[in-house]
Structure formats: C-alpha cells, structure tokens
Amino acid sequence: MKKLLPLALGIAALATGSIASAGTLDDVRSNDVLKCGVSTGLAGFATPDDTGEWQGLDVDTCRAIAAAVLGDAKKVEFVPLTSKVRFEVLKSGEIDVLSRVTTWTLTRDVGLGLNFAGVNYYDGQGFMVSKDLGVSSAKELDGASVCVQTGTTTELNLSEYFRLNGMTYEPVPVETSTEGRAAYSAGRCDVYTTDASALAAQRTGLTNPGNYVILPEIISKEPLGPVVRHGDDQWFDIVKWSHNAMLNAEELGVTAANAVERSKDANNPAVQKLLGTADAGLGKQLGLSEDWALNIITQVGNYGESFERNVGVKTPLGLERGMNGLWNDGKTGIQYAPPIK
Amino acid sequence: MSEQIREYELGMHPELPPPNRQSGLVKWVMDNLFPSVGSGIITVICLIFLYYVIPPLFNWAFWDSVVFNATSREECYAINDGKGACWAFIYRRWDQFVYGFYPEAERWRVNISFILLAMTLVIVLAEKVRKVKGIMWLVLILPIICAILIPGSELLGLTPVPTNKFGGFMLTLIIGMTGIFVSLPIGIGLALARISSLPIFSVFATLFIEFIRGVPLITLLFIASTLLSYFLPPGTNFDLLVRVLIMVTIFSAAYLAEVIRGGLAAIPRGQYEAADALGLSYWKSMRLVILPQALKISIPGIVSSFIGLFKDTTLVVIIGLLDPLGIGAAAIADIKWTALGYELYVFIAVFFFICCFGMSRYSLYLERKLHTGH
C-alpha cells in the first residue's frame, strides 16, 4: 500500500496534466467561501440553531477567518466532521481549516503533518459523579465503572491516570455524547469522563443536574484550537493572526460595538495598528486587506464577546473564564496573544 | 297460562340465531384468546402488560406532550412537568429535518422534486397508471429532472446549491431512491454477467460482487469520504455526495445481483431451452422468458435488500452527512434541546418504520398479484 500510493498519485497527476495546487488563500478567494470543518454538534462550540445557523466558539473562529480573508463572516461553508474522519478530510484538502475542539499534541502537530494555529479554548479532562456516590476526589474512584468516548485522547488519559494512581476501573465505551449521557443516566457507569467543558454540557442534560458534581481534579491538558495543513505558511499565518486579533481586541477593549469608532482614535497606536488605520501595512504582509481585523471585530466580536455569547456564565453551559481569561486579568487566565505591530 | 300462539306453520320454524356462546364477540374471544388454559394465562399476562404499558406510553407521546408552544426543553418541562414528550424541537426544526441546510429561497425545487418522486412511485407501483402507453418513459425522465433540479445549474438559471447543504429526509430519500433505482438494473446486469458462459463477464462480475460483498458498507463510505481524495489529483472537486451515492449503489447492486442470481438459478433448465428452441436471441429470451420469472421469485429478496439499503443510509452520519439522525443529534446537542434522545429516536424510528413497512407491504401485494399459480 505504501508503495502503491505515490505511484497511484503520480499516475493520477499525470493523467490530468498535473494541476498544481494553488495556495489555500487563493483557493478560498476563488471559491469565495471558507470551508471550515466543525463538530457535528457540540453545545457551545458548534451546533446549528433552530434556524439552521451554526453557533459556537469554534464556529466563531471560522467566521473570524472568513471575515479577515473575504470581508464577510457569513461566507463560511461548515463541514460537520466526526472525530474519526477530521484529520483525513483536512489533509485531503476538502476543508481549508479544521476548527473542531481538537487537542494540540506533538503527535498530531508533527506526526500527522498539521499546524495548530493557536488555542481558542483551554480545556482539561474531568470527572462527573452523582452526589449519591459520596465521592469528593477522583483519587477515591478505585474500581469504578467509567463511561468514556472512544477514539479520543480522553480514553488514553483515563487509563494513564488510573494506572499512575494505582487504581483500577472498568471502561464503558460510548460512541457519542448522546449515547454517553443515556448510558450514564441509565446507571451503566458510576463516572462520566470527558473534557470539562463537555461535562458541563452533559450535566445540563441530566434529569436532575443539581444531583451531579464535577470533581476538582483535571487530569489532562487539552488546548483546543484551529488546525491547518503543513506546507502553506501564509495560510497558517492568516489563521493564527485571525485568532490573535480577537484576543488583542479584547485586551485593548475593542468590541464589535465600538470598533469603528475606536479605529478613528488617533491617540492609540496599538488599536490603530490592529484595526488597520495606522497605515502600517500589516494586512498587506498577511496578503489581506488592511481592514482584516476590523472586519473580524465588527462582524464576530472580540474573544471575550465570543466566549460569553457561546459558553460563558450567562449561557446554560455556564463556564467560567478560568484559564481562558486574559493573561492580565489578575486571576488564572492564560490567554496571551503576541502583539499586532 | 294461556295457550301460546304459533306464529309459523307447523314444521316451518324460522331459523334461530346461534346460541350466544357460539357466535359474536364471545365466541371470538373464547376461540382466539382463551382456547385453552395455557393460552388463557398468556392472554391475561399480555393484557396486564398492555395495561401497564399502553396508557403511560400514550400519555407520554400524546396527552402530556408539548409540540407547539415551547422554544426550549426547559419550557417544555415547565408546561408538562417533565412527564410527557417534548416534540417541540422537531416542530421548531422541521425545516432542517426535511431539507437540511438547503437555502430557504430555493426549497420550492425540493418540493417539486418530492412531487415528481411521488408521481414516479405512482407510475411504477399503480397497475392502472402503468398501462398507459409510453408512461414508463416518465419513470426515466422524472428522476433525471429531480437530479437537475435539486443541485441546480447555472445554465438553466437555477442557483447551484452545494450538496453539503443537503440534509434531513431529503438526503435519506436522495440516497435511498438513487440506490434503489440505479442498483436494480446494475444488479440484474451483474447477475446475468455472473452466470454468463463468457469467462470475461463471469470472472469480472464474480470478482466485483465478492469484493463488494466482502467489505462492510461503512468501509466503502470511509473510502469514499477520505481515501479517494488521496488518489485524485489535488484540486479536483469530486462531490462527496456523488461519491457516497456511487458507493451505496454498487454496494446494493452487488447484493441484488446475488439475490437475482438465486432467482435465475431457480428457473428450470427447460425454460432456457424452450426460449432457445423458439429461436429467441439471448436478450429476447432473457427479457421475455427468463427475467420475468426470475424477478418474480426474487421479489422478497430484492425488497429486503431495498429495505436494508434504505436503513443503511443512516450510516452516512459517520462521515458527517447530516441525515435525519445527524440533524437530530445536532439538535439535541444544542443546549436548548439537550437530552431529548428518546423523542428523537422515537421520531426517527416512526419515519423509518413507515417507509420500510410500506415497502414490505407493497412487496407482499406484488407477490400475490404475480402469483400465477403452478
């Protein structure tokens, strides 16, 4: 198979007179739409709402890139992907960017030939148990049956954590979060484990959410972010800086509502550079128009706005900023974007 | 006591109704529900079971359910106290369940296609209509019109709609109907090729059939969705739905070929020889003598294949096409509608039951009608 593949590729390329792949940026421009891989449905990160519009934190990342490149945050074609096919679909070039709660790891970054363009959500794996179990720490879970989604890093973390702590567990593999919740509420497992953000979503769906606690231990680092293919540095830069622009905007207090007004503020060079009014030619360096970041902020909002709209404390998910606060919020925030200048 | 007055001639007593125990409801109940002690006990157990299951189920699904006046699960439960089903998400997302993400302004095209499809089905299924001369051509033409209408084309002034906007029941019907309509002729061809005396046909048909049948459908779908792109030159845009349609069709064709080969094998050798003796060419003998008999025998198998194919369309959710199951899973992933799994799966089950039960009843009817008796 390994020998056949390049051969077949060669033949295929010859047969069609070898169409050279233009850069992703050119592809997106000529299609006039950004093809963005998202979850098939994950509360707060990517779900279609009642009118069929996609909503969520990952969706906003897609929209931001579309706003930067095409000037219109609506020009996104969302491609719902399962966790099994996501990397193959990205690598085969069917999507331009993957924004699908994907954990940044060395194997994926290097081994799979991908580039992670930043972290739009710092997550970590946690445990949810029923209060009736009387457990207050994950260290007391010896011998428990654990519902865990297959084919994810979650499974691996779980077995490592239990082994390191000298505990045993009985895995109850589930395929989807819906199946997981059904298995959990039917009592097929004592513990439900997945990323903490997803646990919060799962808890709201249980019959009596108040009866369940999420244990304090977070057993893994799950930095989630947008992913692109190796080999197109310009596109990698665009995705990376689209995300950074949202973070910088929040840090500078630029919001969707005040962005246009702030862009005229001659006293603040940092804001002017971000919003393209400083005549610094930053957009040109990216291969974009000068108002690229202004489009992101006016059409999608800054990172904080996107966070609060999709997963924040006022939403049913009710997630605290926590690690996803800005680095200078004086609390536990670690979201830190390099400056735009 | 006065003397009874006879109202009839002697010996002409009118017929009396049979005694109560030998007629009407009582007899039916005794014969069917309590013919013996054992059956009687089972009947009682079943009645008790139904008494405990049916009323709560009815209450859940109809009486206590909320359909129209809720915009989230919380509102549903505020109305019915969590006792009944919350069908509201299906009502709110009905358009998604039917059309997927097909643009609203263009949905008339899908509606027309639904009507054309219904017409095609009527032509194929209803005997009287089918006898109208030349109408069978419509069966070929109408699906082609649908195939142009739904994706659209610049040439005809229809805004093209990318296939990834397709979803819901529309997607199920597109995949199911394409699979059914296209795989039948291919399946017949493969079956004839496999029993052909020309080795080139029989070897290739056998290889093809055995390869496809030896691989699960989900593998073929993965090949369609991911692997195929590696073999195609970069930049080629080979539509995912088309790839899926091809895979589903050849998968179904391979199974049909074997079902039909079974039918062909059941035709007595004498029929082939009789056709030859009449001087019919190969195609004529197949068309006029062999296939009508073989296909009749194969009906139950063919319909089973079709039903299986129709249900297999739900597998496309794994490669990210949003069929009703995918649309529903996305709906209940929305925090507003979270945890409405029962409602979703009951709804999907009812849809598939109606379609598949319909197909199965039609095949029974067809068998009875074609049963010319031997």
Nearest to A103, CA basis, from A35, A32, A196, A230: A196
Confidence category of residue A5, pLDDT binned at 50, 70, 90: very low
For chains A and B, what is the number of CB pairs under 8 angstroms? 122
- pLDDT of B178-225, one tens digit each? 998 899 999 999 999 999 989 999 999 999 999 999 999 999 988 888
In chain A, whose CA is at the least distance from the CA of B228? A92
Helix (H, G, I), strand (E, B), or coil: what is residue A114? strand
pLDDT band at B2 (very low <50, low <70, confident <90, very high): low
Q: Is B304 an interface residue toward A (CB < 8 Å)?
A: no
Listing DSSP states for B123-155 in one string gives HHH-HHHHTSTTTHHHHHHHHHHHHHHTT--GG
Q: Return the SS3 of B183.
A: helix
Q: Does B319 touch chain A (CB under 8 A)?
A: yes
Interface contact A52-B101, CB threshold 8 A: yes
For residue A160, what are the CA distances in angstroms to A164, A166, A169, A275? 6, 10, 11, 46
Instruction: Locate A232 and state its tokens.
Output: 């197109």
Q: Do B320 and A40 touch (CB under 8 A)?
A: yes
pLDDT at B234: 65
Q: Model-level pTM?
A: 0.82
Our CA-based measurement puts residue A208 at a distance from the nearest CA of chain B, in whole angstroms, of: 11
Average pLDDT value for residue range A129-155: 88
Name chain A contacts of B336, Cβ cutoff 8 Å.
50, 316
Q: Is A179 helix (H, G, I), strand (E, B) or coil?
A: helix
Contact A201 B338 (CB under 8 A): yes
Give the closest-approach CA distance of B309 to chain A in angstroms.
22
Query: What's the pLDDT tens digit per position in B357-370?
Result: 998 998 888 888 87
Check CB contact under 8 Å for A52 and B332: no
Pick from B330, B335, B338: CB nearest A48: B330
**Which tens digits make up the pLDDT trace of A255-281?**
999 999 998 888 888 999 999 888 888
pLDDT at A242: 96
Superfamily (CATH H level) for B163-370: MetI-like (1.10.3720.10)
Q: pLDDT of B67-100, one tens digit each? A: 888 888 888 888 888 788 888 988 999 999 999 9
Q: In angstroms, how far is CA B91 from the centroid of its own chain?
A: 23
Res B256: pLDDT:
94
Mean pLDDT of A229-237: 94
CB contact under 8 A, B333 and A206: no
- Residues of A with CB below 8 A from B338's CB? 43, 201, 204-205
Contacts of A21 in chain B (CB under 8 A): 234-235
Interface of A with B in 78-137 (CB under 8 A): 79-82, 84-85, 88-89, 92-94
Give dist(CA B89, CA B87) in Å, integer. 6
pLDDT tens-place string over residues A178-204? 788 888 888 899 999 998 888 888 888
Identify the CA nearest to A132 among candidates A187, A178, A180, A169.
Answer: A187
Q: For residue A12, is pLDDT > 50?
A: no
User: How far does Cα A151 stand from its chain's mean position?
Assistant: 18
Q: ipTM score here?
A: 0.77
Q: Which chain B residues touch A79 with a CB distance below 8 Å?
A: 164, 320
pLDDT at residue number A22: 63
Give the chain A residue nearest B339 (alpha carbons): A205
* Mean pLDDT of all residues belonging to chain B: 86
- A314 by Cβ neighbours in 10 Å (0-12 / 13-18 / 19+) ranks as exposed
pLDDT of residue A10: 43
Please count the other Cβ atoms lying within 10 Å of the Cβ belonging to residue A113: 13
CB contact (8 A) between residue B235 and residue A178:
no
A3, pLDDT greater than 80: no
**Chain A residues in contact with B229 (beta carbon < 8 A):** 92-94
Q: In what order do the strands lie in the sheet with A125-130?
A: A169-174, A144-149, A191-195, A125-130, A212-214
Number of helices (H), then strands (E), belonging to chain B: the values are 18, 0
- Residue of B164, B147, B66 lying closest to A52 (CA atoms): B164
Q: Which chain A residues touch B227 with a CB distance below 8 Å? A: 88
CA–CA dist B310, B176 (Å, integer): 5
Distance CA A323, CA A222 (A): 11
Task: Read off the pLDDT of residues A73-131 as tens digits, 9 standing for 90 and up.
Answer: 999 999 888 887 899 889 888 899 999 999 999 999 999 999 999 999 999 999 999 98
For residue A319, name the pLDDT band (cuts at 50, 70, 90): confident
| B219 in reach of chain A (CB within 8 A) | no
B105 close contact with A: CB closer than 8 A: no
Residue A65 has pLDDT above 90, yes or no: yes
The 10s digit of each residue's pLDDT in B235-253 is: 666 788 888 999 999 999 9
Domains of chain A (ranges plus CATH)? 22-122+224-319 (3.40.190.10), 125-220 (3.40.190.10)
